[in-house]
Amino acid sequence: MSWFSRLLFGAPGTAHNVLSPLPILPYAPSPELAALVYKDIYGGSVDDAVTREVAMTVSPVKKARAVIVGRLADLPLELGTMTGTEGEFVPDATQPEWLSDTGTVQTVWHRTAWTLDDLLFTGWSLWAIERDGDTITKAARIPRAHWTFSDESPTGVSANGAPVTDPGSVLLFCGPDEGLLITARDTIRGWRYMEKAWVGRARNPIPIIVLHEAEDNGISKDEAQGYVTAWAGARTSENGAVGFLPAKLNLEVHGDVEADLFDKGRNASRIDIANQVNLPVSYLDGSTATSSLTYVTQEGSRNQVVDDLEYWLAPFEHALSTLTPGKKVRVNRSNLTAVPNDTFGASTRTDAPTTQEVQA
Task: Determine, yes or no, domain membership for 272.
Answer: no
Based on the fold, state whether residues 102 and 240 are members of the same structural domain: no
> pLDDT (tens digit, 9 = 90+) per residue, 324-345?
988 999 999 888 876 555 554 4
- Determine which of 15-24, 154-163, 181-190, 234-243 has the lowest per-residue pLDDT on average: 15-24
> pLDDT (tens digit, 9 = 90+) per residue, 128-168?
999 998 899 999 999 988 899 988 888 889 998 889 999 99
Task: Determine, yes or no, domain membership for 83.
Answer: yes
Is the CB of residue 213 less than 8 Å from the CB of residue 251?
A: no
Task: Determine, yes or no, domain membership for 280.
Answer: no
Based on the fold, state whether residues 8 and 157 are members of the same structural domain: yes
Please indicate whether residue 293 or residue 303 has the higher confidence score (pLDDT). Answer: 303
Residue 234, helix vs strand vs coil: helix
Based on the fold, state whether residues 63 and 147 are members of the same structural domain: yes
Q: What mean pLDDT, rounded, does the chain reach?
A: 76
Based on the fold, state whether residues 248 and 327 are members of the same structural domain: no
Query: CA 107, 108, 109: angle at the middle one, nearest 5?
Result: 90
CATH of the domain at 336: 3.40.140.120
Residue 221: domain span: 206-254
Based on the fold, state whether residues 145 and 42 are members of the same structural domain: yes
Based on the fold, state whether residues 171 and 58 are members of the same structural domain: yes
Based on the fold, state whether residues 210 and 171 are members of the same structural domain: no
CA dihedral of residues 177, 178, 179, 182 (deg, nearest 10): -140
Instruction: Taking residues 279-302, report their average pLDDT.
Output: 55
Bond prior to 31 in cis (omega within 30° of 0): yes
Based on the fold, state whether residues 137 and 234 are members of the same structural domain: no
On the question of pLDDT at 311 being above 90, the answer is: yes
Based on the fold, state whether residues 169 and 213 are members of the same structural domain: no
Q: Which amino acid is at 187?
A: T
Q: Residue 126: how many CB atoms within 10 A of its CB?
A: 23
**Residue 7: pLDDT band with limits 50, 70, 90:** low
**Cα–Cα distances in Å, from 16 out to 8, 10, 26, 159, 306?**
8, 7, 21, 12, 36
Task: Determine, yes or no, domain membership for 276.
Answer: no
What is the count of structural domains for the chain?
2
Based on the fold, state whether residues 85 and 177 are members of the same structural domain: yes
CATH of the domain at 222: 3.30.1120.70
CA distance 142 to 118: 10
Cβ within 8 Å of residue 284, ≥6 positions away: 60, 63, 64, 67, 270, 273, 274
Please indicate whether residue 23 or residue 95 has the higher confidence score (pLDDT). Answer: 95
Sign of CA dihedral 283, 289, 295, 300: positive
Based on the fold, state whether residues 165 and 76 are members of the same structural domain: yes
**Cα–Cα distances in Å, from 213 out to 228, 241, 245?**
12, 21, 11
